[in-house]
């Protein structure tokens, strides 16, 4: 029997090339070796306000893009988080054994709360959901009792908290759930912004030129690469002091399935113009292929989502019942 793994992507904003390289591409590789559960995290999207119509559109687009990128519903259980009620039920239980200090130390909470718009009296309204959402993330994982979780480097802190909470729950309530280990992709675990390569490429970035979206017009995406920030040296080599160049090399390497070192060697005697031209063409062709498949899947996701939710509900309900009994709720 294959070991279980679980992961998901929040249904806020549009999926980027960074989401593909840093997360989805890894999921595709893992589906042959694991019993994989992948969901669209629509409950997590509610941590800050999102227009309901936008959320519905985002959910469908992400699900169709999962399929278009190569996730196979015969190998991977695909579902919407909100279609499995156990996620919300276990969320409350997890908050009761998680401390406020642990939640307040989460760097993503600090980063996202800084973007909250101030009121007229200069005070901030930080949604409670934004503060406690790591508890839901922990519930998302525990329900499937995986031994490992594919994550981006920026989610490693949340998984460490998950390990801590699982250990606490096991000790206090005499349970035996796995403390999941991270599976982090070796290449492209954090694709950077094209405008500011010191920051990660984000699907919620307000500057559309900063990110390549998987549903971007391929020609528009090509032009974004041509405008990508590099530096004035015009020499191509791997260096943390050249984040713009390293970012383009990483994108090229990932889409060509080679190492960053091989990409560096390939471009060693070429100019930044050559680099941007070739990366742009690779990205453009990738988007054309993905979007052709997306158009086929976008009209046919309901049956796949329902089938995935049925399978996910079965295992999630079984593990929730074990925890409820241990806590004295059943």
**302-326 and 86-95 helices cross at what angle (nearest 10)?**
40
> What are residue 70's DSSP bridge partners?
none
Q: Express each pLDDT in 44-71 by its tens digit.
A: 999 888 999 999 999 999 999 999 999 9
pLDDT score of 5? 95
| Residue 115 pLDDT level (bands cut at 50, 70, 90) | low
b/e 153-176 (16+ beta carbons within 10 angstroms → b): eebeebbebbbebbeebeeeeebe
* CATH assignment at residue 181: 3.40.50.620
Please tell me what DSSP assigns to residue 155. Answer: G
Residue 30 and residue 36: Cα distance in Å, rounded? 8
CA distance to 27, 133, 167, 289, per residue, from 316 (Å) = 20, 19, 19, 35
- Is the four-CA dihedral 211, 19, 179, 100 of positive or negative sign? positive
- DSSP 3-state percent helix, strand, coil across the chain (nearest 5): 55, 10, 35
Q: Do residue 291 and residue 320 come from a single domain? A: no
Q: Do residue 17 and residue 63 come from a single domain? A: yes
Q: Do residue 284 and residue 146 come from a single domain? A: no
* CATH assignment at residue 252: 1.10.240.10
To 5 degrees, how large is the angle CA 247–CA 251–CA 257?
Answer: 140
Contact residues for 172 (Cβ-Cβ < 8 A; gap 6+): 97
Mean of all residue pLDDT scores within the chain: 92
Residue 106 and residue 45: Cα distance in Å, rounded? 17
CB 79 within 8 A of CB 312: yes
Q: Express each pLDDT in 173-206 by its tens digit.
A: 999 999 999 988 776 567 999 999 999 898 878 8
Q: Do residue 233 and residue 167 come from a single domain? A: no
pLDDT at 151 exceeding the cut of 90: no
pLDDT score of 117? 54
Q: Do residue 100 and residue 33 come from a single domain? A: yes
pLDDT at 313 exceeding the cut of 90: yes
Instruction: Return phi, psi of residue 5, to 5°.
Output: -135, 155
Q: Express each pLDDT in 28-49 by its tens digit.
A: 999 999 999 999 999 999 988 8
Chain centroid to Cα 127, Å, comes to 21
CB 310 within 8 A of CB 159: no
Q: Do residue 315 and residue 260 come from a single domain? A: no
Residue 184 and residue 151: Cα distance in Å, rounded? 6
pLDDT at 79 exceeding the cut of 60: yes
pLDDT score of 104? 82
Q: Do residue 131 and residue 185 come from a single domain? A: yes
Residue 287, CA atoms < 13 Å, CB-side half-sphere: 21
Q: Do residue 56 and residue 144 come from a single domain? A: yes
| Residues noted as catalytic | 112, 200, 203
Question: What size, in residues, is the chain?
Answer: 330
Residue range of the domain that includes 126? 4-189+301-326
CB 319 within 8 A of CB 93: no
Residue 199 and residue 49: Cα distance in Å, rounded? 23
pTM for this model (two decimals)? 0.91
Comparing CA positions, the residue from 183, 301, 218, 266 lying closest to residue 17 is 218
């Amino acid at each position: 029997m294959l070991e279980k793994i679980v992961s998901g992507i929040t249904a806020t904003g549009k999926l980027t090339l960074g989401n593909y390289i840093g997360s989805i591409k890894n999921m595709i590789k893992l589906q042959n070796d694991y019993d994989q559960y992948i969901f669209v995290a629509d409950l997590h999207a509610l941590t800050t306000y999102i227009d309901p119509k936008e959320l519905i559109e985002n959910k469908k687009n992400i699900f169709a893009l999962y399929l278009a990128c190569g996730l196979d519903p015969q190998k991977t259980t695909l579902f919407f988080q909100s279609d499995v009620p156990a996620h919300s039920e276990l969320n409350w239980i997890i908050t009761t054994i998680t401390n406020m200090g642990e939640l307040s130390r989460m760097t993503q909470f600090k980063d996202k709360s800084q973007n909250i718009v101030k009121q007229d009296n200069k005070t901030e309204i930080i949604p409670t959901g934004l503060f406690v959402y790591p508890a839901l993330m922990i519930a998302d994982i525990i329900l499937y009792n995986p031994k490992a979780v594919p994550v981006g480097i920026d989610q490693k802190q949340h998984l460490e908290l998950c390990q801590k909470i699982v250990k606490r729950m096991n000790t206090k309530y005499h349970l035996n759930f796995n403390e999941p280990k991270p599976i982090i992709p070796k290449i492209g675990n954090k694709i950077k912004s094209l405008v500011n390569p010191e920051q990660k490429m984000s699907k919620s970035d307000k500057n559309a030129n900063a990110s390549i979206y998987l549903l971007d017009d391929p020609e528009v995406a090509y032009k974004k690469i041509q405008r990508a920030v590099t530096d004035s040296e015009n020499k191509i080599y791997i260096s943390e002091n050249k984040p713009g160049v390293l970012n383009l090399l990483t994108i090229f390497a990932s889409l060509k399935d080679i190492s960053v070192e091989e990409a560096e060697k390939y471009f060693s005697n070429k100019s930044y113009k050559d680099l941007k031209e070739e990366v742009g063409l690779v990205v453009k062709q990738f988007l054309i292929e993905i979007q052709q498949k997306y158009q086929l899947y976008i009209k046919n996701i309901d049956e796949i989502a329902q089938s995935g939710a049925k399978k996910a509900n079965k295992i999630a309900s079984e593990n929730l019942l074990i925890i409820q009994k241990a806590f004295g709720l059943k």
